[in-house]
Amino acid sequence: MVEIDKSKPVMVTGATGYVAGWIVKKLLDEGLTVHAAVRNPNNEEKIKYLKLLAASSKGQIKFFKADLLEKSSYDDAVKNCELVFHTASPFSNRVKDPQKELIDPALEGTRNVLDSVNKSETVKRVVLTSSVAAIMGDTKDLLDIPNRIATEENWNISSSLTHQPYSYSKTLAEKEAWNINEKQNKWDLVVINPTLVLGPGISPAITSESYKLMQQLGDGSMKMGVPDFQIGVVDVRDVAEAHYKAGFTPEAKGRHIVNAESKTFLQIADLVRKNYGDKVILQTKTLPKWVVWLAAPTAGLKRKFVTKNVGYPWTVDNRKSIEKLGIEYRPLEVTVNDFFEQMIDNGAFEKA
């Protein structure tokens, strides 16, 4: 049981990120002081949305310069904090050097952040933004799980440096966080494992892979059809709520799958079509798996990925997040509509 004193500041790593933006908003709206750890506090363009949030809320924000790859980088930001949200980690499926671009910042970054936490005399709880990618690697892996439904008990055992390296980076980082946590007794660890996060950003300049995926869905680049690929999806505002509850629910414990619904890309496209069918170019059919397999390299996909992920149902158990954190998930239609409204307003599909 950990009670957090709300008069103390709260650190958020990667505060300029898509998911972090909504966590910061929630904290500020609750009147808290946020220590926003960002790579470049002088990048006005990037931090102006956070400053605007602070200006219209009861809370306060202070910026600190920190980099996942620099030792002791988070020492200043963590000062006087009882609660830390560690969200920073590169999220990309298009990297040239997975070790350097994904694994090192995720793993070394987790070590560096938790090292600063260990040095602090005040931190009582760390909430880590992991991913469902640390629970499950390939969709086909579900065939080996009881009832074919992944739970918080499962760990990704199929990703590697060469196969799904982003998922591998999240698995290594979460395992390392648990290892570091077990070696001390000053702070406890609560983990959030979201599925694909969608919904509007607090800044329209979203860099997350979530944005790039949805942009591809509406810009015509997949107009021939989409792979029969099922995925869990959750609203970014519900993910932020889950982090907040994980931070401030004294009895919160362990991992939490945060997922609203499981959908195929075609089902997501159908949701967009209802309101924005005239503004974006959407898919109307699913491509046969063999076509996707053959075309994979030209679409930037690995054939092994297609073999192990296309054409399988995808199911995870989100009951713990509902029962223990009290999350009420928004319908996906709302998430997708709000996301596409923002993307269209910001010209994301102007070349479509």
| DSSP count for the chain of H helices, then E strands | 13, 10
Residues in the chain: 352
SS3 label, residue 15? coil
Confirm if 283 and 269 have CB atoms less than 8 A apart. Answer: yes
205 in contact with ligand NAP (CB under 6 A): no
Choices 11-19, 116-124, 240-248, 285-293; region in contact with ligand NAP by CB under 6 A: 11-19
Question: Which residue's Cβ has the minimum distance to ligand NAP?
Answer: 17
Pick the closer one to ligand NAP by CB: 33 or 89: 89
Return the structure tokens found at 178: 């648990």
CA distance 56 to 37: 20
Pick the closer one to ligand NAP by CB: 207 or 275: 207
Confirm if 224 and 158 have CB atoms less than 8 A apart. Answer: no
Among 10, 19, 126, 336, binds ligand NAP (CB under 6 A): 19
Using CB under 6 A as the criterion, what x/- string covers residues 75-104 for binding ligand NAP? ------------xxxxx-------------
Among 156, 159, 208, 283, binds ligand NAP (CB under 6 A): 208
Pick the closer one to ligand NAP by CB: 257 or 287: 257
Q: Which candidate in 71, 96, 100, 170 is catalytic?
A: 170
Using CB under 6 A as the criterion, what x/- string covers residues 161-200 for binding ligand NAP? ---------x-----------------------x-xx---
Using CB under 6 A as the criterion, what x/- string covers residues 52-71 for binding ligand NAP? ---------------xxx--
Task: From 48, 71, 66, 56, select the one nearest 12 (Cα to Cα).
Answer: 66
Q: How far is the CB of 90 from ligand NAP (least distance, A)?
A: 4
Among 4, 11, 17, 260, binds ligand NAP (CB under 6 A): 17
Choices 140-148, 174-182, 206-214, 290-298; region in contact with ligand NAP by CB under 6 A: 206-214
Pick the closer one to ligand NAP by CB: 60 or 93: 93
Is 170 known to be catalytic?
A: yes
Q: Give the containing element (helix H, strand E) for 304.
A: helix 303-309
Return the structure tokens found at 63: 């910026």
Q: Looking at this protein, which amino acid is placed at residue 268? A: I
Using CB under 6 A as the criterion, what x/- string covers residues 132-161 for binding ligand NAP? ------------------------------
Pick the closer one to ligand NAP by CB: 32 or 50: 50
Helix axes 332-345, 209-218, angle to 10 degrees: 80
117 in contact with ligand NAP (CB under 6 A): no
207 in contact with ligand NAP (CB under 6 A): yes
Residues 243 to 302 in contact with ligand NAP, rule: CB under 6 A: none
Binding interface with ligand NAP (CB under 6 A):
14, 16-20, 38-39, 67-69, 87-91, 105, 129, 131, 170, 194, 196-197, 207-208, 210
**Residues belonging to the active site:** 170
